[in-house]
């Protein structure tokens, strides 16, 4: 393909309710969209970076600057040789910045697959037609608020509940949810790196609640600490922020730092690398599931395609559009009986609604070769 232009568009989309984790509270998503216009088709992608570098070192302003000034010139240099499999190689001289790289690669991949008439799920090797949907539940000020929220999500049909936790908000809310909704509820917790090795015995007290997993309890760079923690707690350890590539996933598995891995395509550099992580974990007998970054329907559609691969045996964090947005950028992604259908249209299977996109756009720049 030849690239005619790349559009970088910033969109502000409010959340239906504030979303609080151990690293802060979000009331809106500052979304960077990448639109690649080629001589054959156009492709869309969403950058997973947040407004501030709190989940990872990447953030939206930085990602936009990096894509425009560092990544796109390298992409343009490929000329008509460009294809999605070549993007990672072209961008490799730039260190890190996997979310920015993922957005560029995904937009190219979307255009390429649209031109070929192939859905992303088919391209990646998806075998399922639907993804089982779980929901990530914010930290609340009071336990009764949390219980009301969980009750509402269960009534909506979500099949797994994930509670965000932090020091001071862990044992009591987990105990309350387990007591209220019973042992049959699929329940897990996510700390977003809020604890240290010194908290091992405290975290072991979560064992009594029969959780599916404890996600990323320690700092992302403390893989050895997670291996130590896994010898103290019985609840399976799941890694999120620590896994940034298939290589890092291999090391985490080899050292016993995790029993489960959350795969976020943006975090590992794109859907092609996410497939490599999936394949590695499947070969090693490590269950995986698709995590989320409060994506709009653009990123959510692509995540659904990934979630159809056979190794994704645990409920995902891919929720329906109305979990986060009163009006999504795309046609709403709906959940039926706890499951969401994987798109079958060519490419990622989702594109912005023009009027909604214009209404929510706060800035736009076009970069040409």
Question: Does residue 264 carry a catalytic annotation?
Answer: yes
What's residue 22's pLDDT?
Answer: 83
Is the CB of residue 311 less than 8 Å from the CB of residue 288? yes
Question: How many CB atoms neighbour CB 209 within 10 A?
Answer: 17
65/184 Cα distance (integer angstroms): 47
Q: Per DSSP, what are the bridge partners of residue 339?
A: 132, 336
Query: Rounded to the nearest 5°, which phi and psi values hold at 258?
Result: -155, 155
- Structure token pair of residue 37: 């216009």
What's residue 135's pLDDT?
Answer: 96
By CB atoms closer than 10 A (0-12, 13-18, 19+), residue 76 is middle
Scan for tokens 């049959």, then name that residue.
184
- Bridging pattern class, strands 24-38 and 42-47: antiparallel
Task: Give the pTM.
Answer: 0.94
What's residue 246's pLDDT?
Answer: 97
Q: Which residues contact 155 (CB under 8 A, 6 or more apart)?
A: none
Scan for tokens 């639907």, then name that residue.
130
Is the CB of residue 222 less than 8 Å from the CB of residue 230? no
Give me the CATH topology for the region 3-117+353-367.
Enolase-like; domain 1 (3.30.390)
166/195 Cα distance (integer angstroms): 7
Helix ranges, the chain (H) = 60-66, 72-76, 84-91, 98-116, 120-124, 143-156, 171-181, 200-204, 223-230, 246-254, 265-268, 271-284, 297-307, 354-360
Helix ranges, 157-212 (H) = 171-181, 200-204
Q: Which residues contact 199 (CB under 8 A, 6 or more apart)?
A: 167, 217
Q: Which CATH superfamily is domain 122-341 in?
A: Enolase-like C-terminal domain (3.20.20.120)
Question: How many CB atoms neighbour CB 171 within 10 A?
Answer: 15
Does 3-117+353-367 match 122-341 in CATH topology? no
Q: 10 in helix, strand or coil?
A: strand
Is the CB of residue 296 less than 8 Å from the CB of residue 94? no
344/276 Cα distance (integer angstroms): 22
Among residues 101, 114, 162, 264, which one is catalytic?
Answer: 264
Q: Which residues contact 2 (CB under 8 A, 6 or more apart)?
A: 38, 39, 79, 80, 82
Is the CB of residue 367 less than 8 Å from the CB of residue 72? yes
246/248 Cα distance (integer angstroms): 6
What's residue 230's pLDDT?
Answer: 97
Chain-centroid distance of CA 198 in Å reads 29
Length of the chain: 369
Chain-centroid distance of CA 124 in Å reads 17
Domain ranges of the chain: 3-117+353-367, 122-341
Among residues 101, 114, 164, 368, which one is catalytic?
Answer: 164
369/350 Cα distance (integer angstroms): 26
Is the CB of residue 100 less than 8 Å from the CB of residue 49? yes
What's residue 353's pLDDT?
Answer: 96
What's residue 23's pLDDT?
Answer: 80
Q: Per DSSP, what are the bridge partners of residue 189?
A: 163, 214
User: In a structure prediction context, what are the per-residue pLDDT tens digits for the chain, which is 369 residues long?
Assistant: 899 999 999 999 999 998 889 888 889 999 999 999 998 999 999 999 999 999 999 999 999 999 999 999 999 999 888 999 999 999 999 999 999 999 999 999 999 999 999 999 999 999 999 999 999 999 999 999 999 999 999 999 999 999 999 999 999 999 999 999 999 999 999 999 999 999 999 999 999 999 999 999 999 999 999 999 999 999 999 999 999 999 999 999 999 999 999 999 999 999 999 999 999 999 999 999 999 999 999 999 999 999 999 999 999 999 999 999 999 999 999 999 999 999 999 999 989 999 999 999 999 999 999
Question: Does residue 162 carry a catalytic annotation?
Answer: no
Q: 270 in helix, strand or coil?
A: coil
């Amino acid at each position: 393909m030849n690239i005619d232009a790349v559009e970088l568009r910033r969109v502000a989309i409010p959340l239906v309710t504030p979303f609080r984790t151990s690293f802060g509270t979000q009331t809106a998503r500052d979304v960077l969209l990448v639109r690649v216009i080629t001589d054959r088709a156009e492709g869309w992608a969403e950058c997973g970076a947040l407004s501030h570098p709190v989940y990872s070192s990447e953030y939206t302003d930085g990602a936009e600057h990096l894509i425009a000034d560092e990544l796109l010139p390298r992409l343009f240099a490929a000329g008509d040789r460009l294809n999605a499999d070549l993007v990672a190689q072209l961008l490799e001289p730039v260190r890190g910045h996997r979310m920015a790289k993922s957005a560029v690669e995904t937009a190219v991949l979307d255009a390429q697959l649209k031109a070929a008439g192939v859905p992303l799920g088919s391209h990646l090797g998806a075998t399922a037609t639907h993804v089982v949907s779980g929901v990530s539940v914010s930290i609340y000020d009071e336990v009764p608020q949390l219980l009301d929220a969980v009750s509402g999500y269960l009534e909506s049909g979500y099949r797994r509940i994930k509670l965000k936790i932090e020091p001071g908000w862990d044992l009591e809310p987990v105990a309350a949810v387990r007591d209220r909704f019973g042992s049959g509820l699929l329940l897990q917790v996510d700390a977003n790196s809020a604890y240290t090795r010194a908290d091992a015995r405290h975290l072991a007290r979560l064992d009594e609640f029969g959780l599916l997993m404890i996600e990323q309890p320690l700092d992302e760079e403390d893989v050895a600490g997670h291996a130590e923690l896994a010898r103290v707690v019985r609840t399976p350890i799941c890694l999120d922020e620590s896994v940034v590539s298939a290589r890092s996933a291999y090391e985490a598995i080899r050292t016993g730092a995790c029993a489960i891995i959350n795969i976020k395509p943006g975090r590992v550099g794109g859907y092609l690398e996410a497939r490599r992580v999936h394949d590695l974990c499947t070969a090693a007998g490590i269950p995986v599931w698709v995590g989320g970054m409060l994506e709009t329907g653009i990123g959510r559609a692509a995540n659904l395609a990934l979630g159809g691969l056979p190794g994704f045996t645990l409920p995902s964090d891919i929720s329906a559009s109305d979990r986060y947005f009163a009006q999504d950028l795309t046609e709403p992604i709906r959940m039926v009986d706890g499951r969401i259908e994987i798109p079958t249209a060519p490419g990622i299977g989702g594109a912005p609604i023009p009027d909604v996109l214009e209404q929510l756009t706060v800035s736009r720049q076009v970069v040409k070769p």
